[in-house]
Structure formats: structure tokens, C-alpha cells
């Protein structure tokens, strides 16, 4: 399948955020990314969580001399393209190691510490049609870098009791941060993870969420265009197994429900990105062809 950077008019940089752990951020980054790549969008994943779960999930353990996201953030001479490793056709990963935890303090001395990631990703030109950033479950300087680099935010969540309260708080925090570092940033989608389609509780939480988003659509807030992305990702044991094998769900078991849910999610994300209403500001620089034709 050809990897057509022209399929999307604009390059999308998505920060995948929720301050709660265990809600499906890493699983969504890995498998939505793999699904986008399979649908023809050349995609780069950035592991911005010092736990390095995304890198482990995709079977990448950087050796002592391999550049990681830490090097890219702190060493001007290491580019995103240098640090990226191809994990599947059309899917690259900028990996992390646990030394990324030190970046919180090491970045402190750098003047552009909040916009470092943005600048380094901008230098990669139009190599990737989509970049997904897996964020840590905290609002430190790494997450602020992700919000500074992103064109939009996806929030994975579980439809649990009190989940809506957490999401409301998260959206407010994102709103405050973006007013400072990235005023055009939009929260564009909620991804329902480990979804229990049959339970009344999940249905009620989703209804409340829809009503909340509906009421925000007329307000001047960064989540006014936010929608619940479809389909929800159902709970599927294969999604929990695949990280142990260092594989995306498509490499591990392409016929399972987890794979079909993430493939359908990628289709609806691409459709949202191609609809004129969702056009965002960052235009791909059409004059740069850096690396655009090679996939391996």
C-alpha cells in the first residue's frame, strides 16, 4: 500500500492525554497509530512517558548509543528523524527510556523548555502525516511540551462513575495551559476505552458526556468542537496481551475485536480530519519533500 502524505491536507499532531493512569492512553497511541499507518497515513508515535510503556509495547529497547526522545529534547543535533525507528511499515516510533524522567529537571535550564518538542517536530517537515504523542499521567513540563507541539488533543477515558468529573477538570486544565503555550489548540476527540457496551452505567456516562459536550459547543472553550469518537474500543484481552509480544494489535492478532475497533476508529478519525469543518491551522509545507517518499 502506498503511503500517501497527500491524503491529509494538513499534518496532524495529536497529544493523547489523561491525567489518570490506566485509561488506555498507551494502548490507543500504539494501535490507533498502527491503524492510521495501515490506512495509508505515514505516522510517527512519540513516547513522552518516562515509564516508556509505548516503546516496550512496540518492542523497542534503545541501546546505549541509540538516540531517544530525551536526546531529541535536550540535544539540538539529534533530529526527530534521527531518533525515529520504524516499527511497522509506515509506522515510526521515537522511543523513550526511563532516563526521560530526568528531562523534567534537565529541561529547566533551557530557555525554550516549553516549546522544544514543537520545534524539533516542525523540523521534520512533512515526513509524517500524523504524529501521536503518548503523554505521562501528570501535567509536568513533558506534557506541556506535548500541548505546545500538538494541533489537537484526544482524551482516552473509561466510562466509569466520576469519569466525567475527571474529564471536565482535565479539559479546564488543558484550556489554561493552551491559553499560555498554544492558543489555537483544540480538544477534538474523546476515545472510550475498555468500553462495556452492555452496561447501564457506561451508557449513562456516555449520555452525560454527550450532553456536556453539546452544551460546550456554543462556548468559547478549546473543547467546543470535541466529540465522542466512534466506535468505542471494547474491552478485549488481546489488546492487553499484545504489549508482552512487543507488537501492535494488527501484528499480534489482526482478526480480533480490538483490531477491528481500532481500524474503525482510524477510519472515523481520518474522515473527521478530511471534513472541512475540522481544518486546523498548521499547513504542511508543500515545498519540502524531505524523506517523504521512503517508507523504510
Ligand X SMILES: Nc1ncnc2c1ncn2[C@@H]1O[C@H](COP(=O)(O)OP(=O)(O)O)[C@@H](O)[C@H]1O
φ, ψ of residue 131 to 5 degrees: the values are -125, 125
Is the CB of 167 or the CB of 239 nearer to ligand X? 239
The residue assigned the cell 494538513 is 10
42 binds Mg ion (CB under 5 A): no
Window contacting Mg ion (CB under 5 A); options: 52-60, 180-188, 191-199, 226-234: 52-60
| Residue 175 to residue 179: CA distance in whole angstroms | 6
Burial 115-139 (b: 16+ CB within 10 A, else e): bbbbebbeebbbbbbbbbbbbbeeb
Q: Judged by CB under 5 A, which of 18, 19, 26, 31 binds Mg ion?
A: 26
Question: Helix 257-274 vs helix 25-38: angle between axes, to the nearest 10 degrees?
Answer: 70
How far does Cα 184 stand from its chain's mean position? 17
In the bound complex, what is the minimum distance in angstroms from residue 54's beta carbon to ligand X? 8
Is the CB of 23 or the CB of 147 nearer to ligand X? 23
27 binds ligand X (CB under 6 A): yes
Is the CB of 26 or the CB of 124 nearer to ligand X? 26
Interface with ligand X in residues 223-262 (CB under 6 A): 233, 235-236, 239-240, 243
Q: Which does 24 bind (CB under 5 to 8 A by kind): ligand X, Mg ion, none?
A: ligand X
Burial 148-161 (b: 16+ CB within 10 A, else e): bbbbbbbbbbbbee
202 binds ligand X (CB under 6 A): no
Residue 168 grid coordinates: 471536565
Is the CB of 47 or the CB of 92 nearer to Mg ion? 47
Q: Which does 233 bind (CB under 5 to 8 A by kind): ligand X, Mg ion, none?
A: ligand X
Q: Judged by CB under 6 A, which of 48, 60, 131, 193 binds ligand X?
A: 193
Q: Which does 239 bind (CB under 5 to 8 A by kind): Mg ion, ligand X, none?
A: ligand X
In the bound complex, what is the minimum distance in angstroms from residue 11's beta carbon to ligand X? 24
Q: Which does 27 bind (CB under 5 to 8 A by kind): Mg ion, ligand X, none?
A: ligand X
Q: Which residues of the chain form contacts with ligand X (CB under 6 A)?
A: 21-27, 53, 193-194, 233, 235-236, 239-240, 243
Q: Return residues touching Mg ion (CB under 5 A).
A: 25-26, 53
Amino acid at each position: 500500500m502506498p503511503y500517501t502524505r497527500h491524503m491529509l491536507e494538513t499534518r496532524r499532531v495529536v497529544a493523547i492525554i489523561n491525567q489518570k493512569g490506566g485509561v488506555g492512553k498507551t494502548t490507543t497511541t500504539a494501535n490507533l497509530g498502527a491503524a492510521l499507518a495501515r490506512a495509508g497515513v505515514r505516522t510517527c508515535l512519540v513516547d513522552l512517558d518516562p515509564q516508556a510503556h509505548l516503546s516496550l509495547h512496540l518492542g523497542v529497547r534503545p541501546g546505549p548509543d541509540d538516540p531517544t526522545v530525551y536526546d531529541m529534547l535536550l540535544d539540538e543535533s539529534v533530529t526527530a528523524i534521527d531518533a525515529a525507528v520504524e516499527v511497522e511499515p509506515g509506522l515510526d516510533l521515537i522511543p523513550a527510556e526511563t532516563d526521560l524522567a530526568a528531562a523534567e529537571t534537565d529541561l529547566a535550564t533551557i530557555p525554550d523548555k516549553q516549546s522544544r518538542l514543537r520545534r524539533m517536530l516542525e523540523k521534520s517537515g512533512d515526513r509524517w502525516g500524523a504524529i501521536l504523542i503518548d503523554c505521562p499521567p501528570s501535567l509536568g513540563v513533558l506534557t506541556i511540551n506535548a500541548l505546545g507541539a500538538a494541533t489537537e488533543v484526544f482524551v482516552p477515558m473509561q466510562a466509569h462513575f466520576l469519569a466525567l468529573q475527571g474529564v471536565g477538570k482535565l479539559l479546564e486544565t488543558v484550556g489554561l495551559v493552551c491559553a499560555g503555550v498554544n492558543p489555537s489548540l483544540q480538544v477534538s476527540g474523546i476515545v472510550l476505552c475498555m468500553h462495556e457496551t452492555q452496561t447501564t452505567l457506561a451508557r449513562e456516562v456516555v449520555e452525560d458526556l454527550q450532553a456536556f459536550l453539546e452544551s460546550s459547543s456554543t462556548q468559547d472553550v478549546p473543547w467546543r468542537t470535541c466529540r465522542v469518537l466512534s466506535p468505542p474500543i471494547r474491552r478485549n484481552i488481546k489488546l492487553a496481551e499484545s504489549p508482552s509480544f512487543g507488537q501492535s494489535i494488527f501484528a499480534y492478532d489482526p482478526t480480533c475485536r480490538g483490531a477491528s475497533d481500532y481500524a474503525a476508529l482510524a477510519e472515523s478519525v481520518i474522515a473527521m480530519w478530511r471534513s472541512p469543518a475540522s481544518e486546523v491551522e498548521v499547513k504542511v509545507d508543500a515545498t519540502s519533500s524531505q524523506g517523504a517518499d521512503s517508507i523504510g
